[in-house]
Amino acid sequence: MFGMALKEKEAEEIIYLLKKEMDDVYEDLHDHTVEGCVKRAIEEKYALLFSVYRRMVPATESLKYDLALKEKRNVKKY
């Protein structure tokens, strides 16, 4: 367990960085040239980033980056 006290501006910056990284990792997940253990490592990275992000924002805001929900939304689009 690790705890830290952040100023509002610092928390906002960390949230921004987490969102940016999750967006990049999400794109990598949908790269069809990536497969096997590399894809699993990318999925694990996304899960870790999302776990940290979910602790820093309200539940309703974290839904946008929930991978299971994100996948369902993409399926409905096509």
pLDDT digits 0-9 by tens, 29-76:
999 999 999 999 999 999 999 999 999 999 999 999 998 887 777 766
pTM above 0.75, yes or no: yes
The torsion defined by the Cα of 64, 66, 68 and 73, in degrees rounded to 10, comes to 10
Region for residue 9 given its phi and psi (left: phi exceeds 0; alpha: psi -120 to 50; beta: otherwise):
alpha
* Helix residue spans in the chain (DSSP H): 8-29, 37-56, 59-62, 67-77
pLDDT digits 0-9 by tens, 2-39:
889 999 999 999 999 999 999 999 999 999 999 999 99
Task: Parse the chain into domains and list their residue ranges.
Answer: 10-77
